[in-house]
Structure 1
Amino acid sequence: METVIRFLFCVINLCVSFKNPNSCYDQSKLEAKHKALFVFGDSLFDPGNNQYLNGSTGEGISATYWPYGQTFFNHPTGRLSDGRIVPDFIAQFADLPILPPYMEPGAHRLADGVNFASAGAGVLDGTHPGTIQLRMQLEYFKTLKKSLRQQLHDAEAEKVLRRAVYLFSIGGNDYFSFYTSNPEASESYQQAYVEMVIGNLTLVLKEFYSLGARKIAFQNVGPLGCVPVMEAMNPELGSSCVEIPLALARLHNEYLSVTLNNLESQLPGFKYAIFDYYNSLGDRVNNPSKYGFKEGKVACCGSGTYRESGCGGREGKEPYELCRRPSEYVWFDGAHTTEMTNHQLAELLWSGKPNVTGPYNVKQLFGH
């Protein structure tokens, strides 16, 4: 009888928040398994933060119009895809709800995590002013930490932050901006710029560590020269990718790997994952049929040779084309992938082998 009463009490008072009455037999086990996900980055990870920004820059890089969102949500959400993006799938794999945009008004269940990513954001403050740059995302995270401590008290809040996984996609916009301003940049100038980006990124990561972050996951910078909008800017290359953006991405990724390895040796308890987004996406662009796609170069939605621009029905836009089945395309618009591509990439980030995602994958980070 005592067991029954205890169970009913637990259901009424505790289980609503977890939506799983069975877990009440051992609440401590559930709490040990439950880990938050905090997401930072750019348009590849933005769930709709930019639609809440004031100013033309942030609002201009926001997918708040059809056909964005058509596949899964059936309406635009601010995600630059036809459906879910990589962090949405990672949250689902981790038995978490799809995380809300940090900027979205209303109460958030902070113990699950939040998504701070902003389309157009870079590591450097000068990349696309008006968006939520990485350092500002860090400042918002500091604010969140204060709120979490008020909700859970200091000790529990610290546990949540140390158990959580911190997922990043950042850097691509810094190199897009650099290349468009410096298309003939020398190798030494390219290297100096990459070192500046990595230096700033390192400082931010150390600050995240000081705030409690211990498990860091990175999607590295993708094959920037193979993005439809970049290929359209260089028609003389035909269907070949543009080399300088590719070289910048490769150099950044080499430095990122060294940096995270160094941080692991310097900071007690620091663990990390790097997903080889560069090669994983690049192979899908160049060999789409290998992964179940019919088209790897031309986007599903837009106008131009590669449908690289103008996706969506915003006022004043030129007419655009829209493919019948986004799942057959690697790219949804001129710089962003379809839900099908995102799902495949998220699976590699979640449980990829060490040569794809290592030294840990995200599933392993959640398990530690």
Structure 2
Amino acid sequence: MENSRSVSILFFVHTVVLSIVSINCKDNNNLVTNQAALFVFGDSLFDAGNNNYIDTFSRFKSNIWPYGQTTFKSPTGRISDGRLIPDFIAEYAWLPLIPPNLQPSNGHNQFTFGVNFASGGAGALVETFPGMVISLGAQLNNFKNVEKRLRSELGDSEAKRIISRAVYLFHIGGNDYVYPILFANSSTFKSSSKEKFSDFVLGNITAVIERLESDLSGFKYALHDYHTSLSERINNRLKYGFKEGKKACCGTGPLRGINTCGGRVWGLSQRYELCENVTEYLFFDSFHLTEKAHRQIAELIWSGPSNVTGPYNLKALFELK
């Protein structure tokens, strides 16, 4: 990255959120009138509908009812009853909903405020669900294509301004552990020790920060422990306004933990149960949270105190733009 760039990154690696910003930008306009764009990468926790447009198993899509029932009143591709964390971050930053990269273009510079590249099932490793999802590497290539498109439509100067001032959000890593468990013959899992495999996915965050410190003069960062935020709500559900902290709203079996929500699993029709009041639940299906839970965690990331999201929260980093 160039030292003159103003770059923000919100980086979820399994259980950790990392946000980094360089503040060498000379533009001090306020957040409302000169918003930074938002570019989103990751897996199902952030996927706003990209998997709807790829040839993959139905298990990796949520284009069926009851997904999307709360806010959108119909399925959008988000794996929840409603909005996801990036949707709330966009709202707090005075941005519109960030569109999926693969959503058909409306021909009106739809990516000016940012793009969502996330794909349900994606991992940090290309070996995770290969051929079934949009890998992180492919997402980054898609970002490069969007950058070229912005240069073509808006000119080099404006495109550079948008890209250099943008905030970049990542949630990735969890599926790199799920895939070897589901497919025990995974070559990646077999050829690596547990410690080495963990390092493949999590890496050394301290080393990454140190490298960015040397590459980006004056950068600021924030860390949020997503795992702790989730565990807090599982173990103290009533404190956070949930009647159910472990049982899913949608699914079958004990705690509705069998992911049959929507009635399709690997292309097969399945019966499922659906709760009456989704606002009472932390989990919407066996893996993914409800809109209510997403809002709570987004608020912590956006404006939480330094012991929750620190040393800066995302609101502070946006305001530095």
Alignment TM class, shorter chain as reference: 0.7 to 0.9
Aligned to 1:346: 298
Aligned to 1:158: 160
Whether 1:34 aligns to 2:38 is no
After alignment, is 261-270 or 297-306 more displaced? 261-270
Equivalences for residues 187-336 of structure 1 within 5 A: 189-198=193-202, 255-256=204-205, 258-269=206-217, 270-308=219-257, 309-314=259-264, 316-336=268-288
Please provide the CA RMSD for this pair: 2.2
Specify the code of the residue in structure 1 equivalent to 2:45.
Answer: L
Aligned to 1:142: 144
* 1:306 counterpart SS class: helix
Larger strand proportion of the pair: 2
Specify the code of the residue in structure 2 equivalent to 1:354.
Answer: S
Equivalences for residues 29-68 of structure 1 within 5 A: 33-54=34-55, 56-57=56-57, 59-68=58-67
CA–CA distance in structure 1, aligned partners of residues 294 and 242 of structure 2: 13
- Change in 2 beyond 3 A, CA 1:362/1:302: same
- Equivalent of 2:175, from 158, 169, 173? 173
Larger helix proportion of the pair: 1
Conserved in 1, the CA contact under 8 Å of 2:31 and 2:319?
no
Aligned to 1:362: 314
Conserved in 1, the CA contact under 8 Å of 2:260 and 2:272?
yes
Q: Which structure 2 residue ranges, 5 or more long, are not aligned? A: 1-28
Aligned to 2:102: 103
Alpha-carbon shift at residue 179 of structure 1 (Å)? 3.6
* 2:255 counterpart SS class: coil
For this pair of structures, how many residues does the alignment match?
281
* 2:269 counterpart SS class: coil
Alpha-carbon shift at residue 333 of structure 1 (Å)? 0.1
CA–CA distance in structure 1, aligned partners of residues 179 and 283 of structure 2: 21
Specify the code of the residue in structure 2 equivalent to 1:46.
Answer: D
The higher relative CO (CA closer than 8 Å, separation ≥ 6) is in: 2
Q: Which structure 1 residue ranges, 5 or more long, are not aligned? A: 1-27, 200-254
CA–CA distance in structure 1, aligned partners of residues 254 and 180 of structure 2: 24
Alpha-carbon shift at residue 264 of structure 1 (Å)? 3.2
Alpha-carbon shift at residue 126 of structure 1 (Å)? 0.8
Alpha-carbon shift at residue 181 of structure 1 (Å)? 4.7
Conserved in 2, the CA contact under 8 Å of 1:260 and 1:272?
no
TM-score for the superposition, normalised by structure 1? 0.72
* 1:78 counterpart SS class: coil
Conserved in 1, the CA contact under 8 Å of 2:50 and 2:118?
yes
